[in-house]
Structure 1
Amino acid sequence: MLEADVTRPITIVSPDGTKQTIVQTVHLTRTATVDEETGDVIYGNWTTGQFKAYPVSDVDGYTTEVKYGDSAEAKRVDGDVKASDITITGQDADAKPENGEPVIVTYKLNDASGKISYQTSDGTEVGSQTISGKAGQTSTYKTTVPTGYELTDPNQTAVTVTYPTDGSQKTVVVTVQAKNDTYDNTGDKPDWVKEATTKDVTRTIHFAYPDSYTGTKHDDVVQTVHFTRTATKNEATGDVTYGDWTAQGSDQFDAFNAMVTTQLQVL
């Protein structure tokens, strides 16, 4: 009886770079019968055999990749190392069991995703920001506040995220509040602000003369009191609230002394 051992090496490269090689061995046999008269040898077939499937340990946050063969073009396949039949090459006396292709198992770090959820104090989400990275890794992202809002904590201009290794999405909550811009009547302002925050009220003093009056006539006197107020716009909703009107100076029309002549008297 003839015997042969064939092997298949399985090299496992852990995420930290550590390598471990497992060698699978299969023992095969066949018969060889000698014809005593002619001296011819008749060979039987090699017994069949198979390299067994090999389970690969899972590592949280990683996907196993199994590469069959040592060529650069060898295809990577997810999952455990598959069973493989032993190949016999040649015929009769030249028949030979072949060793299995080398197998390399590596671990690929999984992609991870999540979002930064911008919420008001009551838990209402007013915007979000998609983020991505690698499982188990920590990354820092600059916050991008939705239009019309501002950070409740002005110092929270960035957030640090550690992605889970179980494949779940990571959500980080950043609290924001509606941005309120207050305008007054100073400086360069939009037209709506100018119209809404300033107002002039007037009093016209008109002089009426009899037809018989031939003296100097007084022009109308227009007295003006200038008022201003603030306008506060909620940039998230567009709503505007107004402050109280305030007079710039006196809030009364000035007293006016009418001209008195020998021809006229003030009534």
Structure 2
Amino acid sequence: MNSRNRSLLISSAVAGLVCGVALTQQQVKAATENPVASSEKVVEVQAPGSKTEADTSINDTNGLTDADANSSNSASGNEENSSTNESTEVDKNVTNSQSTKAKQQVSTKAGQGSEVIDQGTWGTSKWEYTREGDDYVLHLHEGTLGSPSDISDENCRVGVGVLQLNENFRNQLTKINIDPGVIANECSNGLFYGLTKLTSIEGLENLDTSKVYSMYSMFKDCSSLTKIDLSHFNTSIVFEYSEMFRGCTNLVSIDLSNFSTPPELGGPSTIDMFDNCISLTDLKLGALISGDAFEMFANCTSLTSLDLSKFIMPTGMTTGMFKNCSKLNHLIIGPNYTSLINTKLPIPPVGTVIPGTNKKVAAPYWVATEGYQKGQLYTSEELVSLEGRDQVTIYDWVSTDQTAKESTENKAVTRLISIHLPNGGLQNVPQSAIISRKVYTYEDGSVDYGDWTTAQWDAYEVPVFSGYKPSSKEIPAQAVTGTTVDQTVDIYYTPAKQVVTIQYLDKGKIVGTQQVSGEIGEKIKPNYEVPDGYVAVCPPSTITVNKSGNQIVKVNVKHQLVQTSELKTLTRTINLHLPNNSDQVYSQIATITRLVTEDKVTGQKTYSAWKTAKWDRFEVPKFAGYTATSAVIAAKTVTSTSKNEVIDIYYTANK
């Protein structure tokens, strides 16, 4: 096991031990609480993949007995006992982050331009995840934040804080808003770890860190953050800062001026604290005591100046503390910065230009420009291991002011926009941007160059041709730097779908429209959608699409007329009252008709005249010895004014 992993293991074990002891106390108190009061205790729900507090206690104490845990707890001091008791009280009301599947998913408007995506409670702090324009925002409200969930990262254990609340935070969350009254968890390992799209944290000054003992990996891999002001942080009991800002590759400024450590806590670990902060140029450190500082500033390749005047560095592992800090040429060191070894403090080759100046390195040494042994030269190892420094001292690379002839070099970088016109022609639009840099020619013939300035190719709006679609509507503006090369952008046109509007006209009045589409010159056969109640009058069988962009085809329509027949039935009933006192009934049916014409647009109906029908002549049956009241019932024409008739025939005996 190498020294770095050994130190990280020790730091993690210490943090885990404290977490485990605190949980053991909470469990003991819970076991002795009044049963009624205990029944009101809220169960804490862990996020997916996280361990319960009981699991953490068991694993992190590495099998310690209760007696061992109590012994460790009593040795931790009154501050830790107080912190643990407060944690126990908070535990009565805590509900941790719920799993992604168990969370209430909502999609409602939370206000003008704000949409709630997710929400829940972490610890006792309620939170909402919203979309506000282009930003995805996490709002943390008053209460104590929940505990981290452990995951594996680079063969080590790392805490995951807000990332456990929603799986989309890693590549989506851009902003965090912290309300007054938000209290950081005692163990804030990885509180903002892995939020790669996070660009700002508003209300960071509201976060109460007075009870936090570990900030391990707190901002690790927040690769989109550019500035962090932690001057309001209370770090009075923090003993773990390892990897706190590791991988914050775009972080330019960090203010830790209020960070301090009481001497009784010894030296907190600062292993890899700023590792790979490759953009960091402005770092303010307070009266921070450091124990192990393995690769603390490693790969801070933009850092040119570092003020360690308040930094307290007792004996500890400092291997690679300044590894790859290739531009670090100005150091301010105080009397409490004691002997260090193997820090890999850089000194570049003679002749190297010192960043931000016209000076060059004259010798591979540091020089005390102010303070202890002013004017004395040191190698890098001599400087960091120097003993007896009794005052704040400034050290710089040994340099020389060479007389240099300054000139300016200009470079034109061109973007050629080639527009391939619909008619086959070609139109070229050149865009030129001029950038420049300083050139320093020294007396010895050597030449140094300053940084190229930047310029811009403006956005270009592509010409519009009716009936055609360009491959791009706009060519965006583009920054031009020293690495930008000439380029050509080709724009091509393809026939665009044209919309043809069909207007349906009833005596010149538009009663309906329909839209069809096709390419210029295309003959399309429309499926006419004539308005209800109308029929088209000689519509064109095909439509040739033109390039006007507003083609209108007019189709005349007329009212649809539907004819039906109306029937009316009339009956003449003939009742024969026979001599034998029985009855016979004859029915004569006559049906008359007329035509009904309905206008399907207006619903109006027109009627033709009724046709006539006829009841036929009826011969009354004869019976010997009897005479009927009528021998014949005459035929009769039935009209629309006719009514049903009943005729009775009686028989009387002849005398």
Q: How high is the TM-score relative to the length of structure 2?
A: 0.28
State the alpha-carbon separation in 1 of the partners of residues 451 and 526 from structure 2.
66
Question: Would you say 1:160 and 2:554 are equivalent positions?
Answer: no
SS state of the match for residue 88, structure 1? coil
CA offsets 1:107-129 (integer angstroms, 9 cap, x no match): 3555543543333236251x443
Which residue of the other structure, out of 121, 125, 146, is the alignment partner of 2:531? 146
- How many aligned residue pairs are there? 223
CA offsets 1:68-107 (integer angstroms, 9 cap, x no match): xxxxxxxxxx24x566554214xxxxxxxx4233222233
Which residue of the other structure, out of 76, 79, 87, is the alignment partner of 2:481? 87
SS state of the match for residue 229, structure 1? strand
Which residue of the other structure, out of 554, 565, 571, is the alignment partner of 1:173? 554
The aligned counterpart of 1:243 is: 608
Structure with the bigger percentage of helix: 2
Unpaired runs of at least 5, structure 2:
1-406, 631-655
Structure with the bigger percentage of strand: 1
The one-letter code of the counterpart of 1:200 is T
The answer to whether the 8 Å contact 2:501/2:552 transfers is yes
Cα displacement (A) at 1:252:
5.7
The one-letter code of the counterpart of 1:7 is T
Cα displacement (A) at 1:11:
1.7
Cα displacement (A) at 1:54:
6.1
The aligned counterpart of 2:54 is: none
State the alpha-carbon separation in 1 of the partners of residues 626 and 477 from structure 2.
129
Change (3 A) 1:31 1:116: closer
- Identity of paired residues, percent? 26
State the alpha-carbon separation in 2 of the partners of residues 220 and 27 from structure 1.
117
SS state of the match for residue 102, structure 1? strand
State the alpha-carbon separation in 2 of the partners of residues 172 and 157 from structure 1.
9
Does 1 or 2 have the higher relative contact order (CA < 8 Å, sep 6+)? 1
State the alpha-carbon separation in 2 of the partners of residues 128 and 27 from structure 1.
56
Question: Would you say 1:60 and 2:466 are equivalent positions?
Answer: yes
State the alpha-carbon separation in 2 of the partners of residues 230 and 60 from structure 1.
55
Equivalences for residues 211-250 of structure 1 within 5 A: 219-248=584-613
Change (3 A) 1:34 1:222: closer
Equivalences for residues 1-267 of structure 1 within 5 A: 6-23=413-430, 34-36=441-443, 38-43=444-449, 56-62=462-468, 64-66=470-472, 78-79=473-474, 84-89=478-483, 98-107=484-493, 109-121=495-507, 123=509, 125=511, 127-134=512-519, 139-153=524-538, 156=539, 158=541, 160=543, 162=545, 165=548, 168=550, 170-184=551-565, 196-197=566-567, 199-207=568-576, 219-248=584-613, 251=614, 253-254=616-617, 256=619, 259=622, 263-264=626-627, 266=629
The answer to whether the 8 Å contact 2:467/2:495 transfers is yes
Unpaired runs of at least 5, structure 1:
67-77, 90-97, 185-195
Cα displacement (A) at 1:24:
5.1
What is the alpha-carbon root mean square deviation over aligned residues?
4.3
The one-letter code of the counterpart of 1:148 is G
The one-letter code of the counterpart of 2:492 is T
The one-letter code of the counterpart of 1:150 is V
Q: How high is the TM-score relative to the length of structure 1?
A: 0.58
Change (3 A) 1:27 1:263: closer
The answer to whether the 8 Å contact 1:138/1:163 transfers is no
